[in-house]
Amino acid sequence: MIELPKYQVLNLEHSGNLQKKRSHQEINKQMHEKKIWLDELHEGSRYGLEGKIIVKKKSSFQEIIVLETKAHGRALMLDGCWMTSDKEEKYYHECLVHPALSSLHEISNILIIGGGDGGTARECLKYKSVANIDLVEIDNEIVTISKHYLQQISMGAWNDKRLKVHFSDGFEWVKNINDNYYDVVLIDCSDPSQFSSGLFSKSFYKECQRIIRKDGIFATQSESPESFQNIHINIIKSLRETFKRVETMYSFVPFYPSGIWSWTFASDNVKSFLKEVNIEINSIEKSCDIWNLNYQSGAFKMMPNKIYKILSENKK
């Protein structure tokens, strides 16, 4: 049996709709000259974009590709998986940030783990009360490339003095932080891998609980209930075993595998968990393309029934 690579690059032939797989040598020769198809392969399905590769680099942690496309603007792929694009990034970043931040009266100190494209930081910086953001990214090449090639996503966030960037392992960073230090902890990481799997563990969630203030909130991207069902369920179960209140929001990132994605929020602040209390909500809503309170209200009611049944069974 031939093992397929994690992703394939395809060249779109001009004769009919025929697509031929090209050799790596041909791809390297053509990638800066012609449009190609770049696909994420996931369990027998392909999620691809057509464009020109403008960056292809192997960092100490992963392969990084930036694709220039007509339909999606610039798109970022890491180790064969789509991370973000100019067109669709707000479906992801706005849904991760604003349900959490809009539920706090005051927000001063924020931790972002991951987030090397700058989109999560950009959304956090919209809040005038934010005094400090620590962004902890393990791969400095992601930030370097994003600053140069993904400026439409960061929109100047890297130049804001409130944002402090640290190149470190996120789990190790959390272990060395004092108790009750952050108002908000946001996990904007890639899918579980050799260097990110710890960010999906119960021990990591317990460390995050320790460093969040009593009235603070934790938020993480929690994968797709369709394409990564087991990981998704394990995240929710682990957070429920750690925090007093946990809720999951579902929405869409169309070019991710299956299209449906999730973000899970957790806190020990039972009284005002996810209530819309921040005084800046109106201005934040006006600044967003995707998120608003109405959108959020519906998205928290979208748990697929198969997920609900599995989680309900586990409670027995």
Catalytic residues: 188
Strands across the sheet containing 132-137: 163-167, 132-137, 109-114, 182-188, 212-221, 260-267, 245-252
Contacts of 239 (CB under 8 A, 6+ apart): 205, 218, 220, 246, 264, 266
Alpha-carbon separation of residue 174 from 97, 275, 305 (angstroms): 19, 26, 34
165, 153 contact by CB (below 8 A): no
Strand order in the sheet with 45-58: 19-21, 7-12, 36-42, 45-58, 63-69, 74-78, 81-85
* C-alpha–C-alpha distance, residues 198 and 282, integer Å: 37
Reference 201, options 185, 184, 220; nearest CA is 220
Q: What are phi and psi of 46, to 5 degrees?
A: -125, 140
Q: At what angle do helices 229-240 and 305-315 cross, to 10 degrees?
A: 40
β pairing state of 182-188 and 109-114: parallel
Give the CA dihedral 188, 191, 196, 200, nearest 10 degrees.
80
Q: Is 52 exposed, middle or buried (0-12, 13-18, 19+ CB in 10 A)?
A: middle
- In angstroms, the CA 115 to CA 189 distance is 7
User: Of 168, 77, 173, which Cα lies nearest the Cα of 117?
Assistant: 77
